[in-house]
């Protein structure tokens, strides 16, 4: 007997990487690096993702320090403008992080379907009564 069915239910997760217990990379920093790559500017990228320029710089410095690699090449502004671009290390790191996310999501989807087979939320013998039976 199926107690509750909801075919729109999905499993969601949020992952981040930490070094010595301190967060170093997650979805927000991923968005920052992708915006820098797309827009060619830390300032424009920070505006695009609604982050202060100062916070964006702090994120970049923290990531670079904890990961031990330069992630963003910066060009000073001025008459001919400035700009920023991702290093090859940053692009490789982003690709690996995306692969990790995909793998985790595939694993979660598989486990979700295994545990919540056919959309069954509660086992009929679990002692949980539906409101309809009251």
- Residue 95 in any domain: the answer is yes
CATH number of the domain at 48, please: 1.10.10.10
Q: Is residue 31 part of a domain?
A: yes
Three-state DSSP state, 84 = strand
In angstroms, the CA 115 to CA 131 distance is: 23
Answer whether residue 109 is part of any domain.
Answer: yes
pTM above 0.85, yes or no: no
Domain count, the chain: 1
Please state the length of the chain: 134
Take residue 88 and report the two structure tokens written for it: 């090859």
CB 41 within 8 A of CB 84: yes
Per residue in 16-54, pLDDT (tens digit) is: 999 999 999 999 999 999 999 999 999 999 999 999 999
Domain that holds residue 72: 20-124
84 within a domain of the structure (yes/no): yes
What's the whole-number mean pLDDT along residues 88-92? 98
């Amino acid at each position: 007997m199926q107690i509750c069915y909801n075919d729109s239910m999905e499993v969601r997760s949020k992952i981040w990487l930490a070094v010595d217990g301190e967060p170093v990379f997650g979805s927000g920093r991923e968005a920052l690096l992708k915006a820098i790559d797309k827009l060619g500017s830390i300032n424009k990228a920070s505006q695009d993702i609604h982050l202060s320029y100062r916070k964006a710089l702090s994120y970049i410095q923290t990531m670079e320090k904890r990961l031990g690699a330069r992630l963003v090449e910066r060009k000073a502004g001025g008459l001919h403008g400035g700009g920023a671009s991702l290093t090859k290390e940053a692009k490789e790191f982003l690709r690996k992080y995306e692969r990790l996310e995909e793998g985790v999501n595939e694993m979660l989807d598989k486990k979700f379907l295994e545990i919540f087979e056919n959309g069954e939320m509660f086992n009929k013998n679990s002692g949980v009564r539906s409101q309809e039976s009251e």
